Amino acid sequence: MGESVGEFEQLILFAVVRLDADATAVTIRREIESRTSRIISSGALYTALDRLEARGFVQSRFGEPTAARGGKRKRLYTIEPAGARALTRSYEALQKMASGMTARLQGLVP
Amino acid sequence: MKADPPRLAVWLLQRLLPADRYETIVGDLEERFRVDVQPYISPRLARRWYWRQTISIAAARLIARSSRPAHVPLREDPHSPLPQRGSTMQAIRQDVRYAIRTLVKAPVFTLIAVVTLALGIGANTAIFTLVNALLLKPLPFAQPDELMMVHLLMPDRAAPAGVFREMVWSYPKYEVFRDEQQVFAEHALFTSGQWSLTGNGEPERLRGEVIGARYLTTLGITPIVGRDFTSAEDRTPGIDGIVMLGHALWQRRFGGDPNILGQVIRLSGVPHTVVGILPAGFRGLTGEAETWVPLMTTQADDLNQKWSHSYYAVARRKPGVSDEQARSAVTVLGQRVDAAIPDPRGVSKYGAMALSLQDSRVDPLVRQSALVLLGAVGFVLLIGCVNLANLILARAGTRQREVAIRLAVGATRARLVRQFLTESLILAGAGAVAGLAVAYGAIRLAGALLPEAGIVLRSQTFGLTRVGMSLIDLDLTTLLFTAAVAAGTAILFGLLPAWQASRSDIVTTMKASGTGSIAPGGRGLSVRNLLIVGETAMALVLLVAAGLMLQSVNNLQRTALGFEPEGLVTFPLSLSRTQYDEARSTRFFLDLLDRVAALPGVQATAFGLCAPVSGGCNSTRATFPGKPPVAPGQEPSIGVHWATPDLFKTMGVQLLRGRAFTEHDRSGQPKVVVINETAARTLFAGEDPIGQKIGLGQGGFHDGAEVVGIVRDVRYRAVEQVATADAYIPLLQSSRANGILFVRSTLDPAALIPAVRAEIRTLDRDLPVTNVKTMGTRFGDATWRTRLSADLLGLFAGLALLLAAIGLYGVMAQSVEQRTREIGVRMALGAERRNIFALVINRALAIAAVGIVVGVGLSLLSMRFLETLLYQVRPNDPTTLGVLAACLLGVCLLASYIPARRATRVDPWTSLRAD
């Protein structure tokens, strides 16, 4: 059985895929926060990104500096094949468990 | 106005992050700061945002750093609260990381907790260092538990027969002791001395000790430069002057000159050769010495006076001799001394006693004050812990869901308790570290506030208290104490909530409504009420203690001292006998008085011997020529004060009968004295003293002089001590080389003192003028123990009151919040707002009242420990108790006001609908 990723990391990886060439910590956060209405803590985000990179699921490289960043370079993230595999595996597993349950779940929430 | 990211936060990130990450992460923050945050909110809020991000990143980085897993476990989800299985070490690390994360997520609570702990632990540490230095720490001598003070004993004339007073030795009596004793390996005489250092720069008054040659050996101190006094220099009196200097003096005055040995300095005009320098920090047993001169520099005539008692004796027990044995041996030696040199009047039996140095360390009242303060500050910490426990219990209420899930997934109750305790320990640890900083600051502050050296001169403990004060420091013992207090505190405020929280009933909680509320009036609430009762009781005890001490201070300040302290300044002066003979010294003082009286703003000036409330003065025996002689040894004691005619006017002492001195009362004229009321009452029972003759054992007044006036009593010894019999003799009829210049003026002391110094310098350039004090300062010195205790107790009581009020507020606010539905129901059923208000207030008052009643009981029990520290106020003074209890009740009312108001604002419809 291959590797999988936790829920938070799935959100990050999906954001990286969606943002394509423009995936930085700032844009990833913005994407997740606007789509899911969840507040992301900086510490958690950077830690997760580091771990994903350590496991080989994403790769990072330096980008262009901008004036708004005080002349500091960005860090751009791209998804790796291993990361795409892990993301697919985790998401499909969740989908299989959730399959057909959405209606019943609605009924349990008061 | 464009703000910048806070530089401290940026620096912190730079320290914590590796270089490549730092650039990108700080760049991200800056980008968000400038684009998303700053344009929309105030600079202050923007900076706060930046700090929040920084803390989040820093905490995550620190946690990640602390664990170096070989691979990342699958379930490592930053948002999952589930604990992992694993080894104990890893479990503890996880507990710590989880705890830190939880605390960082609730910054306000964490801040309040750490600040409360820092203040409580810091105050305890500060007071502990005081107790440690004064009572516990070993004295800075070699094997200090072998050292003892040996005192002569003489019958206390002021007490019934059989009671003895400690007194000092004369040299011949010491010789008897020296030749006969068997139990001490080393011993030496010593006494304090003062000299004027002249010759190299500003004249300076130096304090020092006159010591036997074995003094340093007895204490186990060796000079760091040069040599100690030799036994050759301990044999015959009248040797040339030699001196050892203290390290600070050597640095300050002689620039640490390595060629100091062999140099000659002039002490009060007499040349002394420097033979040694003593280690830094050593100030002798008197605690303030900077120079040491051998006993044998005293002239033979003075030294061999059998009845000139001037010296203290310190001794070191032989190895193997116990404290008991030494003490009984000394008692026997005392009898031998008395047999060898008996009282010439054949009346009194003298004796001797030995007391270990440890027992002589500190005045019993100072010891008691220190212990009371330690207890008081412990109470404050206890109250702080109760508040924290309540705070955590309140938080625990909202974390019940989390607890329930974790229990359901298999965590043991013990594990949960451990988790919560870890949070408490981390809080306590942070509080302890911050507390050490608080303590350090408090100690530095206190060093500036503690009294000047001179006031403890006359107490039994002479210099040891001063030696103790010099030991105040944050050392290993203090750190261990702080750590122990922190651990104890963590258990106190952490255990109860931890235990409580882990006992949740799973099913009930899972079924609970969205707000996760506990059933109203549940068990948790009554525990908290009990804690508040305890807090209130302790707060009242502290308030009462502070109230009693403050009343004592007030009573001290209102005590009639017999003179007018306002506007009076004292200048102690001491003329060297080698330079000033009798006529010349009198001339000096009279000239000085003339010059000072002519200064603008000076209302009166005079010469006297001693300053009031400064430890007492000279005393001698009074005789009554013309009356049948009193039995020998029974002559009454009387104080003797040399005075110029204007002394009473200058000091503001009321003349009750007869007259004061005039310039006609000079040498060659009939001798006259003025006595005080107590002398008139006790020595001339029933008769009119005016016109009668009285003889004094000093000043050449043995043959008797006529009493010409009676003045009001002046308290020379202490504010609390009633005056004893005193007599004043004219300076013009008996010369004196040392005394006090009293000056009464309307000028500010800052203007007056330099002017008077200038006049003194005109008359004698080399005369040092030190210890110039206003009477106000002297009064402050005399009352320092009571005032310091009162101030500190007041501070602690205020803190306790504040904490108790906050605690009550917290509990009432929580209670209102939890009973929102109940209140809604009541209102819907017709209760008016004022009924709801009364409901809350009454509940608060009930809790407070129980606490106050318990507090009153505790106060009545415990205030008797304060009795000896109080002045003219009873420990169970009902007025104090009543007023403070009412005050506390009022504060509790105030604290519950806001929650009560909030309760009345509950909207019945929304509260009933929200389920």
Report the half-sphere exposure of B170 (CA within 13 A, side-chain side).
19
> Of the ranges B10-14, B668-672, B778-782, which one carries the lowest mean pLDDT score?
B778-782
Task: Locate the chain A residue with the closest alpha carbon to B514.
Answer: A110
Q: Model ipTM? A: 0.89
Greater confidence (B574 vs A46) lies with A46
Q: Identify the residue among B79, B101, B915 best suited for mutation to test binding to A, counting A beta carbons within 10 A and taking the highest.
A: B79
Contact B72 A43 (CB under 8 A): no
Average pLDDT, rounded, for chain B: 84
Question: Cβ–Cβ of A48/B78 closer than 8 Å?
Answer: yes
Which residues, listed in sequence order, are joined to residue B317 by a DSSP beta bridge?
B184
Q: What is the pLDDT of residue B891?
A: 92
Residue of chain B with shortest Cα separation from A108:
B511
pLDDT score of B555 = 92
pLDDT confidence tier of residue B20, bands split at 50, 70 and 90:
confident
Distances (CA, A) of B602 to B570, B647, B714, B755, B762: 13, 14, 23, 11, 18
DSSP string across B480-503: HHHHHHHHHHHHHHHHHHHHHHTT
Q: N- to C-terminal Cα distance for chain A?
A: 38
| Residue A109 at interface with chain B, using a CB cutoff of 8 Å | no
Set of chain A residues whose Cβ sits within 8 Å of the Cβ of B24: 25, 62, 72-75
Half-sphere CA count of B391, side-chain side, radius 13 A: 24
What pLDDT, on a 0 to 100 scale, did the predictor assign at position B86? 53
DSSP at B33:
I
pLDDT in tens, B82-98: 444 556 777 788 888 88
Please give the biggest Cα pair distance in chain B: 111
Per-residue DSSP letter, A5: -
- In this predicted model, what pLDDT tens digit does every residue of B446-505 receive, in sequence order? 766 665 544 443 444 556 777 777 777 778 888 888 888 888 888 888 887 777 666 655
pLDDT at B524 over 50: no
CB atoms within 10 A of CB B115: 14
- The predicted model gives B897-913 an average pLDDT of 81
C-alpha distance from B86 to closest chain A C-alpha (Å): 20
Alpha-carbon span B209 to A45, nearest angstrom: 71
Lowest-confidence region among A52-66, B83-97, B224-238, B267-281: B83-97
Q: Which residue, B531, B372, B370, B384, is CA-closest to B862?
A: B372
- How much is the pLDDT for B522? 44
Query: Is the pLDDT confidence value at B600 over 70?
Result: yes
Measured distance CA(B801)–CA(B142) in Å, rounded:
46
Does the beta-carbon distance from B78 to A44 stay under 8 Å?
Answer: yes
Tokens matching residue A102: 């959405």
Q: How many CB pairs under 8 A join A and B?
A: 81
CB contacts, 8 Å: A73 with chain B: 23-24, 27
B876 and B857 Cβ atoms separated by less than 8 Å? no
Contact between chains at A46 and B31 (C-beta distance less than 8 A): no
- Mean pLDDT in residue range B896-902: 88
Comparing B65-79, B268-282, B354-368, B430-444, which segment has the lowest mean pLDDT? B65-79
* pLDDT at residue B512, as a whole number: 43
- Bridge partner residues of B352 (DSSP): B152
CA neighbor of B98 nearest in space, from B492, B544, B536, B402: B402
The pLDDT value recorded for residue B68 is 53
Question: Helix B43-66 crosses helix B7-16 at what angle (to 10 degrees)?
Answer: 10
Mean pLDDT for B208-214 is: 91
Note the pLDDT of residue B158: 57
DSSP B318: P
The 3-class secondary structure across B194-209, one letter per residue, is EEEEECCCCCEEEEEE
Report residue A74 as tokens: 């960005």
Q: Which helix (H) or strand (E) holds B423?
A: helix B413-449
Q: Which residue has 């212990």 as its token pair?
A: B371
- From CA B22, how far away is CA B10, in angstroms rounded? 9
Nearest-10 Cα torsion for B647, B650, B654, B657: 40
Q: What is the pLDDT of residue B709?
A: 93
Segment B632-654 shows an average pLDDT of: 88
The strand pair at B351-356 and B147-155 is best described as antiparallel
Confidence of residue B162 (pLDDT cuts 50, 70, 90): low
pLDDT value of position A1: 54
Q: How far apart are CA B562 and CA B647, in angstroms?
A: 13
Does B87 touch chain A if contact means CB atoms closer than 8 Å? no
Q: What is the pLDDT of residue B914?
A: 59
Of how many residues is chain B composed? 915
CA-CA distance, B423 to B413, in Å (whole number)? Answer: 16
Residues of chain A with pLDDT under 50: none
pLDDT of res. B50? 92
pLDDT at B646: 92
A6 Cβ under 8 Å from any chain B Cβ: yes
